[in-house]
């Protein structure tokens, strides 16, 4: 296919430059010249989609316990920025709607990773797809949805079949073609450290766009791009210039 999205994708919004999965991170990615960002979405206890990677709050906020055990009002009270420095103290956990609005304001493309908490696969897929389909302007290139959780991805496809989807793996399995067809996926996303040359060539020969995470080394990035990889997720916002 004629791959329409940018090559460089800022991991979790702003890589290591700003607190991950925050509006500050999305702004950091845009300031660095990225035209596409990636971020993760899971649900609060009251079913609201918010930007968060971990199942629990401890690593990136001053909260404790499972994200899915807190309602949106409680999550919004937490500090999601101070862990990365005083300049970000008071940064809040954003809702998906806030992130979508900012993407449009900053003219950014996005890969939205559906990240369900245990037991919430289908509901998270449905909710994320529904909100993106409802809020995203018809005249803009749609976000690319992806997930490791195939139940979540299937639910997203059933809810908003027109939204493009990427199948996300650590290591691309032998039955990747069957699974791509089953999900009507447009791309495969994988850990570059677990991608061998033969598997990459098989994907390329089949016309499958391959996106690799998380590539922070210039030499490795050059090699992957030369081999035909279509997109690189990176924590280093200076990496495109180094490559």
User: At 50, which CATH number?
Assistant: 3.20.20.190
Q: How deeply is 174 buried, as exposed, middle or buried, from its count of CB atoms within 10 A (0-12, 13-18, 19+)?
A: exposed
- The model's pLDDT over 115-153, given as tens digits with 9 standing for 90+, comes to 999 999 999 999 999 999 999 999 999 999 999 999 999
Longest CA–CA span in the chain (Å) reads 49
For residues 35-41, give the mean pLDDT. Answer: 98
What contacts 119, CB < 8 A, 6 or more positions away? 68
In a domain, 2, yes or no: no
Q: Which of 11, 183, 189, 192 is catalytic?
A: 11
CB 63 within 8 A of CB 55: no
Kindly give, in sequence order, each residue whose CB lies less than 8 Å from that of residue 63, ignoring residues fewer than 6 positions away: 57, 70, 74, 75, 78
Which helix (H) or strand (E) segment is 38 a member of? Answer: strand 36-43
3-state DSSP assignment of residue 233? strand
d(CA 66, CA 61): 12
In a domain, 66, yes or no: no
- Active-site residue flag, 192: no
Is the residue at 172 inside a domain? yes
Count structural domains, the chain. Answer: 1
Mean predicted lDDT score pLDDT of the chain: 97
Residue 2 has pLDDT above 90, yes or no: no
Structural domain for 105, as ranges = 8-55+96-242
């Amino acid at each position: 296919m004629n791959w329409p999205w940018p090559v460089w994708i800022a991991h979790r919004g702003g890589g290591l430059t700003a607190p991950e999965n925050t509006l500050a991170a999305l702004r950091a990615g845009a300031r660095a010249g990225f035209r596409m960002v990636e971020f993760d979405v899971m649900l609060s206890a009251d079913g609201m989609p918010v930007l968060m990677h971990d199942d629990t709050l401890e690593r990136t906020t001053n909260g404790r316990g499972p994200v899915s055990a807190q309602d949106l009002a409680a999550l919004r009270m937490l500090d999601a920025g101070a862990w990365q420095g005083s300049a970000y103290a008071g940064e809040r956990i954003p809702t998906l709607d806030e992130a979508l609005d900012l993407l449009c304001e900053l003219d950014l493309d996005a890969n939205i990773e559906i990240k369900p908490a245990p037991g919430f696969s289908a509901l998270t897929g449905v909710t994320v797809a529904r909100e993106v389909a409802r809020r995203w302007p018809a005249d803009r290139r749609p976000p690319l949805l992806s997930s490791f959780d195939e139940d979540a991805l299937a639910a997203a496809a059933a809810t908003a079949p027109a939204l493009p989807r990427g199948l996300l793996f650590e290591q691309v399995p032998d039955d990747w073609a069957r699974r791509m067809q089953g999900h009507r996926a447009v791309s495969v996303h994988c850990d570059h450290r677990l991608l061998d040359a033969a598997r990459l060539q098989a994907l390329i020969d089949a016309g499958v766009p391959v996106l690799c995470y998380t590539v922070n080394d210039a030499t490795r990035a050059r090699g992957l791009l030369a081999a035909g990889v279509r997109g690189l997720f990176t924590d280093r916002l200076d990496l495109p210039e180094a490559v």
